[in-house]
Structure 1
Amino acid sequence: MISKILVIEDEAAIRRVLKKILSEENENYAVEEAEDGLVGIEKIKNEDYDLVLCDIKMPKMDGVEVLEATKKIKPEIPFVMISGHGDLETAVNTMKSGAFDYISKPPDLNRLLNTVRIALDRRELVTENTRLKKKVGKNYQMIGESPQINTIKEMIEKVAPTDARVLITGSNGTGKELVAHWLHQKSDRSKGPMVEVNCAAIPSELIESELFGHVKGAFTSANKDRAGKFEAANGGTIFLDEIGDMSLTAQAKVLRALQENKIQRVGSDKDIKVNVRVVAATNKDLKKEIADKKFREDLYHRLAVILIKVPALNDRREDIPLLVDYFTKKIAEEQGTHQKEFSDEAIKLLKDYDWTGNIRELRNVIERLIILGSDKIDKKDVELFASK
């Protein structure tokens, strides 16, 4: 994937050096130049850049003005300021105005390349998060009017605006991820990133690097510095799904992050401050895991400030007609087909079904019935296609 980088610098020699360094570092860096702030702003208006390197002292329009103007039109573009010795204080102050970082003249090669890599990693994560947010309204709706679901909705309304940590429990397929997304979307952090980590899907030897990042050389395949999920979630929410599957070593580091709001990348002893809300989920009985010495009790109490238990579908059968209607519309929209109807007898049979797979299983059954069933799905279709 090509990363477009704009270098705004009035000294031609420095522009050439920066372009040469970046182009030789990575063939996927497409580097363009602008000789002053006015030219830079025009390019930013007309092109989409993944990163801007911008000098501070320039004629016509200085770097601070370029940064401020860009934040009004394309606030998502990360800025790395280029500062001379006398501009250092100004460079630091620009970070309060939204600059990602700064580098000093003459640029140190490693410092420059590391800053560019980290800024582009963050940009990629922000872009992905924005894309997911556009889908969240459709993909993360909480359907149901049962007492259990209404209780969860009321709790989310109370808890979401706070920074309280939340532990979501429930069987597989009940909708724990949906609750986590609602908490984020209704929080004051909703404009920040929501970063999801499936702790069960990451090998134990890689989980620390995934969460906290690593520095170059930390292990055999660590060929460059890499930011972790906690850094990516800075200012937003990190969702630790299936946290009961996390190794005890990683649990200890997560505990420290929660206690001190600091992390350390693997292979580094440098502290990095993070401002992250933690929402966790598990299908395990963590109190039993604690008794079996598989989960830290101190971490449990840090996470379980607010407990939300998501009920099994078998315990909220009155919501099944609403869920069937929702999935029928959604699947028809996704597949570009007409919406099928369900007879009252078909709905009744679905309400009596043993939903061991919960919401996830219900959706799969509805999709199967829409594909294979009659134009109006009746009892016979359900008996034929919904059986285990």
Structure 2
Amino acid sequence: MAGKYLKKLRQYRIPIKTSDNVIVDIVSESKSLSSLNVDIELVNISSSGVGVYIPSHHILDEVFDVELRFQKLSLTGRAHVVRRTKEETREFDDYVGVEFVEVDVFLLQNFIHDIVSNMSSRRLKKLMVDMIENEGRAVINENENLEVSAHILTELFHAFEKYNNSYSLMFLFAQEVKRTISAEKFRFYMFEHDGKDVSIFDFEEGKPSSSVLPISGNIKDVKDTGKIIRSRLSKKNVDDQFYSLLQTLFDVNIDTFILAPVIDKSGMTVGVIEFSNKNNHELFNEKDLYEVSLLSTIIGLNFSLHNDTENFEYAKKLQEFYDAGHLIGTSEESRYLNSFIDTTSLTEDNVFISGEYGVGKKLIAVNMHNKSPRSIHGIGHVNCHDIETEKDLTRVLSSDGEHTGILDFYSGGTIVFKDINFLSVELQEKLHNELVLRDDIRFMATSTQTLETLERGVGHDVIYRPLISFLSTKSVRVPALRERKEDIIPLTHFFAYQLCQSSDLAPKNISAEVLNHFSNYDWPGNISELRIALDRLIILGRDLKTLVYKRTRVLPLLDREIDHDFTIGLDLNHDFLDQSDAISSGDFEELYFYFYVEELVGMKHYEFFELAEHFDMEYDQFYERLFHAHDKALTYFGVNSELVSIYLEDKAAAA
């Protein structure tokens, strides 16, 4: 690997020519060198200091003022000498490196910007390449990635403010690379959001062109492998599917080409750059590879800076879409569900909604209600798991002197019965007899079993057919998230935005690693599990700008539905919380782990000795973590689990 780390951009000294007409003077004890007829020549300038030529015989004080003037701007800063060397090319002068110890940084940056903005395009190109190559680590090996700090781009964009935007700056750099490697054409193929298509990016407009091509051939190979490809196309028979289509549609002729992946700072490949038709029909060489690698890295960082804003705007649009009563997702299934909501909400039909836990059945019911004429009234929810006796059902439905039953409370509105099939058949019959008397309420029901399964009597659920028939004038099945994986990425962006907003955090980017992991996971807990997983990542990475995947042994993903108002089921110890800050992320992990262990054992899914393997932990490590979490539960809630207490006591006694 050929490369080196050099000084930071803030220390990079921009060369100054006499023709730039930047005037410098040094003032010490109220006397300036220019007034003493001491010749000073400004050599370079940066945000940390200046370099000057001064006569070798002249001695500078320990601390002095540097005065700079350019056109109508003037600037003064307190400074000292950090380096003084004999200048070999100038017989009577020394080169003096001067560092500011006190200066208005904002004014200094503006001063530099104005100087740079008056430079010619040719000089700017050379300056830009020098700055980037001095900042970065240049890698020529094809199997290595070239690295450049992200901060250089932000400072470059400020420095070159004469350009409208960073895209025109990138195009300027691309044109310089094209000239350097003797290529005829340059293109940037930008991947669409679906990852299946590509469009040619228009740097003048700052956006992709409207023409879209499927990703195939060498472009697909670069996307899949992340490696640079240098090759030549056969003139007689273009055997590359992508280039064959490109030549047919746009009448382009490509001989030799070099392709490099453009990877943003989160590790996601956002596109491919291409230089084609090297002079004299030559193949692109190793030196060309270095130049193209540098450009692809810079463009990747450039798009990272823009994607921060674009992802935020995209998430805001998703929030607006959600607020308008639409489900988030681009899949055909989501489009059908949104269409079903829109059409069914305008009717008075009762609706049966089926689907696994966590797919969003409750949200669909709420959206249908909110879009219906009944939205001026409320929507109520009944969890059928809580109704075990006729007395329970009567108290839920009917009013008495002490409380208002749900039928009266939501008169004119909508009532949703969650997991209707969990009611005994006797209670289903009684419920049916009550509901058919009320034509002032719209009824909906949800179930993890499909309507067809319940009607066939498959499984352990026994149904009262008249009730199910009454509740299913219209019916819809909500597919599991694994059946509509196209929805995972937009849902991830949406939840990340929503959770950051609710936690008063700045918007977070999502790394390619997280998106890849989420896209390849089956999500047995569906959308609820996805939201909880993101909540966990945000809690663990609240100080990070970009969310990264963390495989943690204490926060397993949940496999059951959890509503937004989910609680552990215990009252917090408010006396303790009043004396401390909010629950820390570490304590949150321990509490989550503790109550999840209790649930798994309580539901007889696992024995304690099996859980260490389930969490991929050593048994002693599992015991120690559970022991500490046991104390945390007592601290926060004033009680802890009897099951866990017995286990810990038995383990201690056996030790």
Q: CA deviation at 1:383?
A: 4.1
Aligned-partner residue type, residue 312 of structure 1: A
Aligned position for 1:80: none
Aligned position for 2:427: 250
Aligned-partner residue type, residue 547 of structure 2: I
Change (3 A) 1:340 1:206: farther
Determine the C-alpha separation between the residues in 2 that align with 1:375 and 1:192: 42
1:32-67 Cα offsets, whole Å, 9 max, x none, are xxxxxxxxxxxxxxxxxxxxxxxxxxxxxxxxxxxx
Aligned position for 2:352: 167
SS at match of 2:436: helix
Aligned-partner residue type, residue 381 of structure 2: E
Change (3 A) 1:317 1:275: same
Q: Equivalences for 1:4-23 in 2 at 5 Å?
A: none
* Structure 1 position 145 matched with structure 2 position 323: no
SS at match of 1:337: coil
Aligned-partner residue type, residue 376 of structure 1: T
Determine the C-alpha separation between the residues in 1 that align with 2:425 and 2:551: 46
8 Å Cα contact 1:349/1:382 also seen in 2: no
TM-score (norm: length of structure 2): 0.33
* Structure 1 position 363 matched with structure 2 position 528: no
8 Å Cα contact 1:248/1:296 also seen in 2: yes
Aligned-partner residue type, residue 504 of structure 2: G
Q: CA deviation at 1:367?
A: 0.9
Aligned position for 1:333: 501
Aligned position for 2:184: none
Task: Compare CA radii of gyration and give the structure with the larger one.
Answer: 2
The runs of 5 or more residues in structure 2 that have no matched partner are 1-321, 558-655
8 Å Cα contact 1:165/1:278 also seen in 2: yes
Change (3 A) 1:284 1:207: farther
Determine the C-alpha separation between the residues in 2 that align with 1:382 and 1:318: 23
Determine the C-alpha separation between the residues in 1 that align with 2:517 and 2:556: 11
Aligned position for 1:193: 378
8 Å Cα contact 2:450/2:477 also seen in 1: no
Q: Greater share of helix residues, 1 or 2?
A: 1
Q: CA deviation at 1:227?
A: 2.6
Determine the C-alpha separation between the residues in 2 that align with 1:192 and 1:332: 31
Aligned position for 2:545: 375
Determine the C-alpha separation between the residues in 1 that align with 2:396 and 2:486: 40
TM-score (norm: length of structure 1): 0.55
SS at match of 1:260: coil
Determine the C-alpha separation between the residues in 2 that align with 1:296 and 1:323: 37
1:283-320 Cα offsets, whole Å, 9 max, x none, are 13455555257211121111111111111111111111
Q: CA deviation at 1:197?
A: 0.9
Aligned position for 1:302: 470
Aligned position for 2:342: 157
Q: CA deviation at 1:214?
A: 4.8
Between stretches 193-202 and 284-293, larger displacement belongs to 284-293
Aligned position for 1:227: 404
Q: CA deviation at 1:191?
A: 0.4
Determine the C-alpha separation between the residues in 2 that align with 1:235 and 1:387: 42
Change (3 A) 1:285 1:159: closer
Correspondent of 1:284 among 449, 454, 477: 449
Aligned-partner residue type, residue 383 of structure 2: N
8 Å Cα contact 1:207/1:250 also seen in 2: no
Aligned position for 1:342: 510
Determine the C-alpha separation between the residues in 2 that align with 1:293 and 1:240: 16
Q: CA deviation at 1:138?
A: 5.2
8 Å Cα contact 1:286/1:295 also seen in 2: no
Aligned position for 1:239: 416
The runs of 5 or more residues in structure 1 that have no matched partner are 1-136, 216-223, 262-273
Determine the C-alpha separation between the residues in 2 that align with 1:144 and 1:247: 36
Q: Equivalences for 1:204-219 in 2 at 5 Å?
A: 204-215=389-400
Determine the C-alpha separation between the residues in 1 that align with 2:448 and 2:519: 24
Aligned position for 1:179: 364
Q: CA deviation at 1:279?
A: 0.9
Aligned position for 1:315: 483
8 Å Cα contact 2:387/2:393 also seen in 1: no
8 Å Cα contact 2:377/2:413 also seen in 1: yes
Determine the C-alpha separation between the residues in 1 that align with 2:372 and 2:463: 28
8 Å Cα contact 1:350/1:382 also seen in 2: no
SS at match of 2:374: coil
Change (3 A) 1:259 1:146: same
Q: CA deviation at 1:196?
A: 1.1
Determine the C-alpha separation between the residues in 1 that align with 2:342 and 2:474: 13
Aligned-partner residue type, residue 295 of structure 1: I
Q: CA deviation at 1:340?
A: 1.5
Q: Equivalences for 1:63-142 in 2 at 5 Å?
A: 142=327
Determine the C-alpha separation between the residues in 1 that align with 2:539 and 2:454: 42
Q: CA deviation at 1:206?
A: 4.0
Determine the C-alpha separation between the residues in 2 that align with 1:369 and 1:157: 34
Determine the C-alpha separation between the residues in 2 that align with 1:153 and 1:138: 13
8 Å Cα contact 1:244/1:286 also seen in 2: no
Q: CA deviation at 1:234?
A: 0.7
1:185-206 Cα offsets, whole Å, 9 max, x none, are 0111110111111111334344
Determine the C-alpha separation between the residues in 1 that align with 2:383 and 2:364: 15
Change (3 A) 1:293 1:366: closer
Determine the C-alpha separation between the residues in 1 that align with 2:397 and 2:452: 26
Change (3 A) 1:141 1:181: same
Aligned-partner residue type, residue 283 of structure 1: T
SS at match of 2:377: coil
Determine the C-alpha separation between the residues in 2 that align with 1:191 and 1:360: 28
Q: CA deviation at 1:176?
A: 0.3
Determine the C-alpha separation between the residues in 1 that align with 2:461 and 2:445: 19
1:133-181 Cα offsets, whole Å, 9 max, x none, are xxxx759752112100110111111111110010000000110000000
Determine the C-alpha separation between the residues in 1 that align with 2:470 and 2:376: 25
SS at match of 1:200: helix
Determine the C-alpha separation between the residues in 2 that align with 1:387 and 1:139: 33
8 Å Cα contact 2:379/2:415 also seen in 1: yes
Determine the C-alpha separation between the residues in 2 that align with 1:387 and 1:232: 39
